Amino acid sequence: MDVKFTVNDEPVDVDVEPRVVLVDLLRGTLGLTGTKVGCDTGQCGTCVVDLDGRSLKSCTLLAVQADGASVTTIEGIAGSDGLDEVQAALWEHHGVQCGFCIPGVVVSLRDLLRRNAAPTEAEIRDWLSGNLCRCTGYHSLVRAAQSLAPAPGEDRR
């Protein structure tokens, strides 16, 4: 099937078999290996990408479902001037240990913070329940996300 979408603002036009999952198209065909595969069964969240403004597990999506969509992977998040604010906060708060979960965590936290600029610890832990991290115990991930809350009176949207 012919599938057309954008990845990190670049147009993509590919011929894929209907059974191909999005993460395999991204990593295999397009060479965007920043998105990881930890389980291939929708459990771990390492494969989370942004699809039309929603963080989704790309191992649970068929590539053909991205037709017409705008996909952002971890490669499209850091600007040429450095880390985006979520990446910088994770770095600052020692949220990156082995790093395997981090591409998915970054995409997930960006989605959460768009919906809720000042999430509570419980809300962050609940949101990240689909992103398995074996290293941090989530403490540093929570601190990083909370550090991005706007100051009183500041509108960050």
Q: Are 51 and 39 in contact (CB under 8 A)?
A: no
Binding site for ligand FES (CB under 6 A): 37-40, 42-47, 57, 59, 96-102, 133-136
- Rounded Cα distance between 25 and 63, Å, is 7
Q: How many CA atoms lie within 13 A of 80 on its CB side?
A: 0
Q: Which two tokens stand for residue 148?
A: 């991005």
Q: Is the CB of 99 or the CB of 150 nearer to ligand FES?
A: 99
Minimal distance in Å, beta carbon 155 to ligand FES? 31
Q: Is the CB of 45 or the CB of 119 nearer to ligand FES?
A: 45
Q: Is the CB of 57 or the CB of 76 nearer to ligand FES?
A: 57
DSSP string, 17-41: -TT-BHHHIIIIIS--TTS--S-SS
Q: Which two tokens stand for residue 24?
A: 């395999």
Minimal distance in Å, beta carbon 121 to ligand FES? 18
Q: Is the CB of 6 or the CB of 97 nearer to ligand FES?
A: 97
Minimal distance in Å, beta carbon 136 to ligand FES? 5
